[in-house]
Amino acid sequence: MNTQPIGIFDSGIGGTSIFKEIHAFLPNENSIYLADSKHAPYGNKSKQEILALSIKNTEYLLSKNCKLIVVACNTATTNAISYLRSTYDVPFIGIEPAIKPAALNTQTKTIGILATKGTLASDLFHKTTDLYSNGIEVIEQIGEGIVTLIEEGKVSSNEMKALLIEYLQPMINANIDYLVLGCTHYSYLMPLLLDILPKHVKIIDSGLAVAKQIKEILDQNQLENSISKTPENLFYTNTNTIVLNDILDGKFKVELLDF
Ligand code: DGL
């Protein structure tokens, strides 16, 4: 039994989609969430910059005594998690585009992936794609501009809808039957995506799988918090608190922090 918090970081508010899954699945756990919105989007930065920001976030969370760190960002996971794992002495759980289930189940042999430039350019993404995409067409699309709009609180704006139609229409024309969401911010696009995509296209998002994996790692390392009490779930952002607070429906404590 361990009451130390789970640390979670993202380039901004997108990783809250992962936090929500974790909180639903592991309701006893305390947590600290860092939204590095001042430096969003990570997706257009170099690997070195993404690594430096991931180190900074990790060290802050470790200074707060976190027992496990969730890299709730595909871009940071695919560019930095192997370094973080080899450097720090806590378990790290990351999130990567779920190419495997899409590639294994596609009937049309064509799948789409929407992710950041940094994720699509990473070695880890290429390795996974090469492993599972034999005989399958994988249509990769950079979601340029999407993270910035979400960070501005414009999740369901007309601007967002136009951008998504531009990015998805070529995939629809190519007859995809799976769309893999390769960025934690994109989970918040679900209503628009359901509206734009033909009904038979399945959308793959990996939040719940991450929460299940965290439970397994906590169990294995005897780190689980089984005390039944009201957990403390803290959120820090380094820009303004309004958008983060809104995306959490005002249910959690959100503070401004200079990091
Ligand atoms: N949520 C991040 C991800 O999953 C967004 C990256 C960005 O800031 O560009 O990739």
Task: Say yes or no: 35 and 112 in one domain.
Answer: no
Q: Is 40 helix (H, G, I), strand (E, B) or coil?
A: coil
For residue range 161-205, what is the model confidence (pLDDT) as tens digits?
999 999 999 999 999 999 999 999 999 999 999 999 999 999 999
Distance between CA atoms of 254 and 245, rounded to whole angstroms? 6
Residue with tokens 């299940």: 212
- Does residue 106 have its Cβ closer than 6 Å to ligand 1? no
Q: Are strands 68-71 and 110-115 parallel, antiparallel or unpaired?
A: unpaired
Report the largest interatomic distance among the alpha carbons of the chain, rounded to a whole angstrom: 52
Out of 34, 183, 204, mutate this one to test ligand 1's pocket (max ligand atoms within 8 Å of CB): namely: 183
pLDDT class for 227, splitting at 50, 70, 90?
confident
Using a 6 Å cutoff on CB, does residue 97 contact ligand 1? Answer: no
DSSP-derived secondary structure letter, 43: G
Co-location of 225 and 176 in the same domain: no
**Within-domain flag for 1:** no
Separation of 202 CA from ligand 1 center, angstroms? 21
Q: Are residues 67 and 124 in the same domain?
A: no
Number of separate domains in the chain: 2
The pLDDT score that the predictor gives to residue 228 is 63
Reported as a single tens digit per residue, the pLDDT across 229-252 is 789 999 999 998 999 999 999 999
Q: What is the pLDDT of residues 9-67, one digit of tens each?
A: 999 999 999 999 999 999 999 999 999 999 999 999 999 999 999 999 999 999 999 99
Beta-strand pair 31-35/233-237: parallel
Collect all residues with Cβ–Cβ distance below 8 Å to 165 and sequence separation of at least 6.
Answer: 196
Answer yes or no: pTM beyond 0.95.
yes
Calpha distance 159→125 (Å, rounded): 28
Mean pLDDT of 201-222: 94
Residue 163: which CATH number? 3.40.50.1860
**Checking phi first, is residue 250 left (phi over 0); if not, alpha (psi -120 to 50) or beta?**
left
DSSP letter assigned to residue 189: G
By alpha-carbon position, which residue is closest to atom 2 of ligand 1? 73
